[in-house]
A and B are shown apart, each in its own frame.
Chain A
Amino acid sequence: EVQLVESGGGLVQPGGSLRLSCAASGFTFRSTFSNYWVHWVRQAPGQGLVWVSRMDSDGRIISYADSVKDRFTISRDNAKNTLYLQMNSLRAEDTAIYYCVLSEIGHWYFDLWGRGTLVTVSS
């Protein structure tokens, strides 16, 4: 069973930076980390889900929500089965639980979710 574990969240001041990581495990020889697109989805306290960013299986197709474009950078290391989100110029409105999410290639939905990591932007 594939499992996703996020880390790197915490308290940061406005304007600061954080790097989130997501370690994926439990793959079989039939299905590896590189068979998946990767996403970050966030949820502000008491609010709904918002898609943030995605990267295709080999890192060539990258997309961002307008609210984070030019501030956040998604990346992946297929050799380490790990997904990253570099967050710069953080704002109070970026405060949220950030979920690491996988989609099998060709799936236009979110198959697997991590448990999330909380990012709090406050002075």
Chain B
Amino acid sequence: QSALTQPRSVSGSPGQSLTISCIGTSSDVGGYNYVSWYQQHPGKAPKLMIYDVNKRPSGVPDRFSGSKSGNTASLTISGLQAEDEADYYCCSYAGRYTLWVFGGGTKLTVL
């Protein structure tokens, strides 16, 4: 059982917007502004999409955005495209003893 809770799957049509939630606790998501999101296509390595809650690395489309409210972080993808179909994982720093915790992953399907 993962420390952070994500929906197992979400789906949307091309052009639509959707949001993936990531529920943690005050010891991780709620306690630090160090939430990150990773995209993983089948058989590939994960790729950083969002860091520090809402920042995008160079090269990541601005269709991807992140936010946080209390113990829940969210990844929003607008203008959904076929290549966005992948697994998405949230991650949070959780202090000096636990360090980093991940969510169980969300499979995004583009209909």
Q: Which residues of A contact B (CB under 8 A)?
A: 47-51, 54, 63, 65, 99, 107-111, 113-116
Q: Which of A47, A99, A108 has the most CB of B within 10 A?
A: A108
Q: How far is the CB of A35 from chain B (nearest CB, A)?
A: 16
Cα distance A89–B89 in the bound complex, in angstroms: 29
| Interface: B64 (CB within 8 A) | no
A–B pairs, 14, beta carbons within 8 Å: A47-B104, A48-B105, A49-B102, A99-B46, A108-B32, A108-B34, A108-B93, A109-B91, A110-B48, A110-B91, A113-B47, A113-B48, A114-B45, A116-B45
Residues of A within 8 A of B111 (CB): none
Cα distance A99–B40 in the bound complex, in angstroms: 13
| Interface: B103 (CB within 8 A) | yes
Interface size on B, residues (CB 8 A): 23
Residues of A within 8 A of B48 (CB): 109-111, 113
Q: Which residues of B contact A (CB under 8 A)?
A: 2, 32, 34, 36, 38, 44-48, 51-52, 57, 89, 91, 93, 99-105
> With A48-B103, A49-B102, A108-B32 given, can you name 18 additional A-B contacts, CB distance below 8 Å?
A47-B104, A48-B102, A48-B104, A49-B46, A51-B91, A51-B99, A65-B99, A108-B34, A108-B36, A108-B52, A108-B93, A109-B52, A109-B93, A110-B38, A110-B48, A110-B91, A113-B45, A114-B45
